[in-house]
Amino acid sequence: MTAEIVRSTLHQKEGAPFSPDELPNLCGRPAVLRQLSPGEELFAPGERSDDIYGIVSGWAYSYRLFDDGRRQINTIELPGSLIGVASAARDGAAVGCACLTRVVYCVYPRATLFGRVMSEPALGLRIVAEVVRQEVLIRERLSDVARRPARERIANFLHELYCRRQITGRMDRPFSIPLTQTHIADALGLTPIHVSRTLREFKRDGVANYVGHDLQIIDAGKLARISTLDESYARWLGGGADAPIAAAEARPAMAARLA
């Protein structure tokens, strides 16, 4: 039993460690639920919060604000995301989290959630898995921003979202993304102007186009071809249809010292 929990927790077969359905009961009893409209904030930069949030439905983004007014979008949060675990590690950091669509989420006081871990250790492992999942996304973004030209960078970003879409709940067709060009720019370290130019090309090439305030993916195949996400990553994003892994059984550590 223990071994099984460990195995399933480490090798996430689902899109995220937590499914939106189970979030309200994560602490054993029903959590507080709230909802917000597009543009509103779960928490604002500089605000000290002792809560952790779980997204039940909708899109949000967490970001950091700089003195000079610039904004760095770190992650796009979809249903199943746990928000605030990392943000609060360093107190006083100017991080915030705002909604892109209508968002329903639950609230866990930190102490309650972590207290629950003490009585239910497997929850701790799942939280580790969730934080790790976010870290993987950010590492990937870092590589993109550091080394890829704007075109690939944007394509990778959109492709990532396209792959994560199954978590969105609805598998719309065509898939549409509630992001402004300024959001994209702030996520990727570009200028809205340059995003505009690049997206213009995407439109010309029949890859993606704005419909109202949503960016619609017209041809996912073309998008995938422009993007440089490798296939195994794309699969992992989509819910870990990764090759099955022979998980080691939990057993006592071997004792040995350095010669």
Q: Which residues contact 145 (CB under 8 A, 6 or more apart)?
A: 153, 188, 189
Q: Would you say how long the chain is, in residues? A: 259
Residue type present at position 105: Y
Q: Residue 3, interface with a copy of itself (CB under 8 A)?
A: yes
Report whether 181 contacts 202 (CB < 8 A).
no
Relative to beta strand 208-211, strand 71-77 is: unpaired
Q: Scanning the structure block, which residue is given the tokens 């509103």?
A: 40
How far is Cα 55 from Cα 85, in angstroms, rounded to an integer?
13
- Of residues 118 and 146, the one with the C-beta less far from DNA: 146
9 to 1, 5, 84, 99, 206: CA distances (angstroms) = 12, 6, 20, 29, 40
Select from 180, 234, 239, 242 the one that contacts DNA (CB under 7 A). Answer: 180
Residues 91-120 close enough to bind a copy of itself by CB under 8 A: 91-93, 104, 108-112, 114-115, 117-120
Binding mask 132-151 for DNA (x = CB under 7 A): -----------------xxx
Q: Scanning the structure block, which residue is given the tokens 């993304």?
A: 177
- Of residues 211 and 248, the one with the C-beta less far from a copy of itself: 248
Select from 213, 232, 248, 250 the one that contacts DNA (CB under 7 A). Answer: 213
Count residues near DNA (CB under 7 A): 21
Residues 150-169 close enough to bind DNA by CB under 7 A: 150-151, 153
Select from 55, 60, 83, 85 the one that contacts a copy of itself (CB under 8 A). Answer: 85
Select from 85, 190, 207, 208 the one that contacts DNA (CB under 7 A). Answer: 190
Q: Residue 146, interface with a copy of itself (CB under 8 A)?
A: yes
- Of residues 1 and 173, the one with the C-beta less far from a copy of itself: 1
